[in-house]
Structure 1
Amino acid sequence: MDETATPDAGPEAPSGRGRVGRRSRGAGPVAYDFRRPTKLSREHVRTLQIVFETFSRQYTTLLTSTLRTVAQVNLVSIDQLTYDEYVSQLANPTHMAVLSVEPLPGAGVLEFSVGTAMACVDHLLGGPGAESQPERALSEIESTLLRGLLDRVLGELRYAFEGVLRLEPVITGIEYNPQFAQVASASDMVLVASFDMKVGAVETVATMCLPFNPTLAALDAASNAHTTGERERIAREEAARRVRERLQDVPVDVAVRFGGTSARPRDLVNLQVGDVLPLRHNTNDPLSVTAADIVFAHAVPGAAGKRLAVLVVEAPENSNPQNPQESA
């Protein structure tokens, strides 16, 4: 079964799971949509499996040690969806931690049910974490407690991604209505990892959402870095050496310029043959030698045989080679 296939809509989940239409571990085969083929190769899927399985193990250990209760997080699926498809499968309300995921452009989401969030807070306060939890937004104190836990969870996500890229996830906001979470446009592709999550007696399907195209680019870069052999490395170094050598023979247009001056438009319009236009260039000052409007040397005029020439001299102390406001 292709693990990147789009999950089908299942029966309504029990209230304790806090999800409608999410695929669970026991779901059967899923129809493949040939109108929107997956862009994830087998190597990409395998890399993501390693990343998210590492994350789920670390997540499990963190929840168990912090909440002091039996907790379990298991990877269920990795899907390529549009953001609209992802949001439409989430319960309302749900707990969505909106993330910045530098260096990836865009935003991500760490999501699980409100009941699970309340159970975590209950355990943090020394409670039993009963299965029946209120379905409401967290108070300021509850949010602060859960935020500390989530910051540590993001540390585990950073650790899991170390082999692919140096991800720096940071919580930028909390939303309870998925329709209000401004993470991406409806048609943008996202990468969604789904997890079976259990905290004490409360179970849910948690999700991790990341921008698809930037994540795919990071996977390609990591794959190329790992598969480059010694022979390919030597070939690249040789090609770079040849490019550097050939650049030394590329012809470059060079100009020698006097210092510039300023004039009013009416003076330029009235110029006639024989008029004299004074330049702001002292007769003792050297000329500027430029290429692509960048001054790289100074010179004084002269002759070489029957041709005009310049002699390169030291730059004057007050010269600014990066800002040549000069005219020919």
Structure 2
Amino acid sequence: MARRSAGPQPYDFRRPIKLSREHVRMLQIAFETYARSCGTLLTTRLRAVSQLSLVSIEQVTYDEYLGQVGNPTLMSVVSLDPLPGSMLMEMPLTTALGSIDHMLGGPGGEQAERQLTDVELPLMKDLLKKMLDELRYSFEQVVEINPKVTTIEYNPQFLRTLSPGDAVVVATLEVKIGEIETLSTICLPFTTILPVLQADNAEGELSAAEQAARDLSRRNLTFGMASAPIEVAVRFTPITMRANDIVNLSVGDVVPLSHPASVPLAVTVNDTTFAHAVPGNQGSRLACLVVPPPKESLA
């Protein structure tokens, strides 16, 4: 039986680069770990049975993502130090307000959609901080990050952290708190997460021959660097002179140096001192003898 040809595949010019299967799997493991740990956290903090589960991971444009989320909603801009760019953590307002109601001893449940008050906002930020701690722990196997909330917005259209056509990776999570079920999203800039995934997966993709070639190149580079000629200078302590004094110098003038006679000279490479020495000679050639650094340098 002849195998059917796969035929032409559609190509989206807005997303010329796509996540590989291995990269999606890495993100899936990280977000599933986050969902489990965050579900336990919410159950403990809210004193209500809570559960998070990963629904999907997809690559879309930033404009498409903003069109998918609700309005109004609780949108947190999160820095990912030391990574560049910002992550967006979106939570429906009914979930946020229900969580605050649980924290204050209430029954939770459906809430009218409105902005958080000045009393509720610190409570929500503290909960988000705990949730981001779980996210940091979940991503430790991929990359070490220190996520922090920088801004909270209720209208996603006011957030322009990226250009409309920029690619993003969106993880959709189903959130159950008590009897309430909603969908929450986490949006990562494609240019931020892709280099991390590629670097983490690079070593595992090398074959035995490729690894051997890399080791040989590393040894050759080490040998080449060790045998490369480097200009070394032995110097007195520099002095400062006025331009007029330098112009008027003539044969026979004496220029006093500030270098004490009992202090060794500096041995330098590219203005960096790496040893000390005293001057001398070896036969008919000038030479220097490397000595311990002066006591002032050791202090």
TM-score (norm 2): 0.77
**Is 2:96 the partner of 1:117?**
yes
Give the aligned partner of residue 53 of structure 1: 32
Gaps of 5+ in 1: 1-30, 321-328
Alignment length (residue pairs): 289
Give the aligned partner of residue 135 of structure 1: 113
For 1:88 and 1:122, the matched residues in 2 are separated by 29
**Is 2:160 the partner of 1:214?**
no
Give 1:264 deviation, angstroms: 0.9
For 1:59 and 1:300, the matched residues in 2 are separated by 65
- Partner SS state of residue 75, structure 2: strand
For 2:220 and 2:116, the matched residues in 1 are separated by 63
Asked if structure 2 preserves the Cα contact closer than 8 Å seen for 1:107 and 1:184, the reply is: no
Asked if structure 1 preserves the Cα contact closer than 8 Å seen for 2:15 and 2:167, the reply is: no
1:197 pairs with one of 159, 168, 175:
175
Give 1:293 deviation, angstroms: 1.5
Seen in structure 2, the aligned counterparts of structure 1 residues 303 and 153 have a Cα distance that, compared at 3 Å, is closer
**Is 2:70 the partner of 1:101?**
no
**Which amino acid is the alignment partner of residue 174 of structure 1?**
I
For 1:232 and 1:190, the matched residues in 2 are separated by 32
Q: After alignment, is 104-113 or 141-150 more displaced?
A: 141-150
Seen in structure 2, the aligned counterparts of structure 1 residues 51 and 297 have a Cα distance that, compared at 3 Å, is closer
1:316 pairs with one of 278, 294, 298:
294
Query: CA offsets, 1:20-77, max 9 Å, x none?
Result: xxxxxxxxxxx86234223311110111122223323444444456546565544333
**Which amino acid is the alignment partner of residue 116 of structure 2?**
L
Matches within 5 A, 1:289-304: 289-304=267-282
Give 1:267 deviation, angstroms: 1.8
Give 1:280 deviation, angstroms: 2.7
**Which amino acid is the alignment partner of residue 118 of structure 1?**
L
- Partner SS state of residue 259, structure 1: coil
Give the aligned partner of residue 149 of structure 2: 171
**Is 2:129 the partner of 1:151?**
yes
Give the aligned partner of residue 255 of structure 2: 277
Gaps of 5+ in 2: 1-9
Larger helix proportion, structure 1 or 2?
A: 2
Asked if structure 2 preserves the Cα contact closer than 8 Å seen for 1:197 and 1:206, the reply is: yes
For 1:294 and 1:175, the matched residues in 2 are separated by 51
Give the aligned partner of residue 70 of structure 2: 91
Asked if structure 1 preserves the Cα contact closer than 8 Å seen for 2:55 and 2:174, the reply is: yes
For 2:108 and 2:289, the matched residues in 1 are separated by 85
Give 1:181 deviation, angstroms: 4.2
- Partner SS state of residue 318, structure 1: helix
Asked if structure 1 preserves the Cα contact closer than 8 Å seen for 2:14 and 2:165, the reply is: no
Seen in structure 2, the aligned counterparts of structure 1 residues 286 and 68 have a Cα distance that, compared at 3 Å, is closer
Identity of aligned residues (%): 51
Matches within 5 A, 1:249-260: 249-260=227-238
For 2:77 and 2:182, the matched residues in 1 are separated by 19
- Partner SS state of residue 130, structure 2: helix
Seen in structure 2, the aligned counterparts of structure 1 residues 283 and 65 have a Cα distance that, compared at 3 Å, is closer
Give the aligned partner of residue 27 of structure 1: none
- Partner SS state of residue 294, structure 2: coil
Give the aligned partner of residue 37 of structure 1: 16
**Which amino acid is the alignment partner of residue 86 of structure 1?**
Y
Asked if structure 1 preserves the Cα contact closer than 8 Å seen for 2:174 and 2:184, the reply is: yes
Query: CA offsets, 1:258-302, max 9 Å, x none?
Result: 332221122223334554433333455543322222223333333
TM-score (norm 1): 0.71
For 1:263 and 1:247, the matched residues in 2 are separated by 38
- Partner SS state of residue 195, structure 2: helix
For 2:50 and 2:278, the matched residues in 1 are separated by 80
